[in-house]
Amino acid sequence: MFRKMSLLVVMLLAVAVFAAKIEIFSWWTAGGEAEGLQELFNIFSKANPGVEIINATVAGGAGAQAKAVLKTRMLGGDPPDTFQVHAGHELIDTWVKTGFMEPITFLYKQEGWDKAMPKGILDIVSYNGELWSVPVNIHRANVLWYNKAIFDKYGLKPPTTFEEFFQVADVLKSHGVIPFALGTKDGWEAAHAFETVLIGKLGAEGYKGLWTGETKWSDPRVTDALETFAKMLTYVNPDHSARTWDEACALIAEGKAAMNIMGDWAVGYFYAKNFKDFGWTLAPGNAGIFDALSDSFGLPKGAKNRDTVIAFLKVLGSKEGQVAFNLKKGSIPARTDVDKSLFPEYQRSAMDDWLKHEIVPSVMHGAAASEGWVTEFKDVISLFVARPDVKVTQKALINIAISQGVAQ
Ligand code: BGC
């Protein structure tokens, strides 16, 4: 009897020690994000029934808190099995060049992803002739969302220029409606909106040049962008500092505010809340430009469950995974061979635009510049919200570029 019991204990212990697990680290906790992640888990679990998924999320849009937690863990030699990271500078500068990742070129070849994904996407996950993460989507950052019922009620047309934006905002204000919903609680949301103002004022080439040194931060168009943004801020909800990005979207869904500028994870939020009466256009002055970013996952060196991570990455890159995830997330698949008709109207339009618009990399979401620059950029714009001093802010933006080694 006693021997039988101890055998059982030993067996249970063995199961506990050797049970397959995978810890997946991300900041996907809001409406749309959490549902998208769950779809990936469901597909993975069906194919890998014995594996326990540890959903290691750290709330805070754009990785506002997650990135710091991740850094501590990576530097402390305790990497999650895999983690969300923006394709482009965030992946390459922060994690690849520093030697924290294993290349996964073999998976691209094995799974045919090098054929199924466009060159522009493969480029931003490449370094030194190797591929380093699996892009699960393409998000668009420069969208203006609006509440259709409010626009209809006051006979308004979605604005496409800054001039129209202010005209519409004045009408809304005169009727006691919040014209422009904003949440600044996590410190990145205003910088996100400002990024689209920079694009609107500088155009695709001018905006891209800001991150390479071809456009100087002293450019009068940057001054104009700051002045314009300061004016836009006079139309926002007074409680913006208490709201996160999704809580700002809630103002649109609840009919309390008319417009906001947010990436298309906002549409994932609207789907999750079953809010259907939204419309979209591009942020003012952004016609013909696709401000892009991509969420991806890679294979950290020293991941405890390497084989399981590879199985998960396969789901991320698969057609099935990309369709199920993006249907909830609001983004479009990174693969170009999916059936477009499976997607709702907004995403079909994003797929069309992705092929015909000029693509620029989002700064706030890791594609355009290194993480250090992004952090300083967002902090300066956060200060600007509290104290919209154009001169001081432009000087600070110039200094950041210099400190990043980009001559001004
Ligand atoms: C990510 C999106 C996410 C958004 C808000 C962005 O940086 O790329 O996937 O939904 O932040 O959290």
- Identify the residue whose C-alpha is closest to ligand 1 atom 8: 295
The closest alpha carbon to 326, from 133, 131, 141, 317, belongs to 317
Single-letter residue type at 164 = E
Ligand 1 close to Cβ of residue 293 (< 6 A): yes
CA-nearest residue for atom 11, ligand 1, is: 62
Q: What is the pLDDT of residue 44?
A: 98
Tokens of 200: 């609107």
- Which among 61, 71, 286 is positioned nearest to 190, based on CA atoms? 61
Domain 2-137+294-341: give its CATH superfamily: Periplasmic binding protein-like II (3.40.190.10)
Q: How much is the pLDDT for 13?
A: 46
Q: What is the pTM of this model?
A: 0.95
Percentages (nearest 5) of helix, strand, coil residues in the chain = 55, 15, 30
**Residues 288 and 70: beta-carbon distance below 8 Å:** no
List, for residues 173-218, the tens digit of each pLDDT value. Answer: 999 999 999 999 999 999 999 999 999 999 999 999 999 999 999 9
Tokens of 58: 């750290």
- How confident is the model over 22-51, as pLDDT tens digits? 999 999 999 999 999 999 999 999 999 999
> What pLDDT is stored for residue 10 in this prediction?
47
Report the separation in Å between the CA atom of 186 and the middle of ligand 1, taken as the mean of its atom positions: 12
Regarding the domain with residue range 140-291+362-403, which homologous superfamily does it belong to in the CATH classification? Periplasmic binding protein-like II (3.40.190.10)
> Facing residues of 133 across strands?
298
Residue limits of CATH 3.40.190.10 in the chain: 2-137+294-341, 140-291+362-403
Q: How confident is the model at residue 17 (pLDDT cuts 50, 70, 90)?
A: very low
- Please tell me if the CB atom of residue 140 comes closer than 6 angstroms to any atom of ligand 1: no
Ligand 1 geometric centre to CA of 57 (Å): 13
Is the pLDDT score of 108 beyond 90?
A: yes
What per-residue string of b and e applies to 147-160 under the rule 16 or more CB within 10 Å gives b?
beebbeeeebebbb
**How many helices (H) and strands (E) would you count in the chain?**
18, 15
Kindly list the distances between the CA atom of residue 8 and the CA atoms of 21, 43, 52, 145, 335, in Å, as whole numbers in the listed order.
22, 32, 21, 59, 48
Q: What is the pLDDT of residues 374-387, one digit of tens each?
A: 999 999 999 999 99
Distance CA 95, CA 100 (A): 5
Pocket of ligand 1 contains residue 61 by CB under 6 Å: yes
Mutate to test the pocket of ligand 1, among 85, 86, 365 (most ligand atoms within 8 A of CB): 365
Nearest to 360 by CA among 199, 218, 214, 220: 199
Question: Is 192 a pocket residue for ligand 1 (Cβ < 6 Å)?
Answer: no
Cα(61) to ligand 1 centroid in Å equals 6
DSSP code per residue over 146-186: EEHHHHHHTT-----SHHHHHHHHHHHHHTT-EEE----TT
Question: Does ligand 1 have an atom closer than 6 angstroms to the CB of 102?
Answer: no
List 26's β-bridge partners, or say none.
Answer: 57
How many residues in the chain? 408
Residue closest via CA to ligand 1's atom 1 equals 62
Angle (CA) 313-314-316 rounded to 5° is: 60
Summarize the confidence of residues 345-349 as an average pLDDT.
Answer: 98
- Closest residue to atom 5 of ligand 1, CA basis: 61
Is the shortest distance between the CB of 162 and ligand 1 below 6 Å? no
199 contacts 142 by C-beta, under 8 angstroms: yes
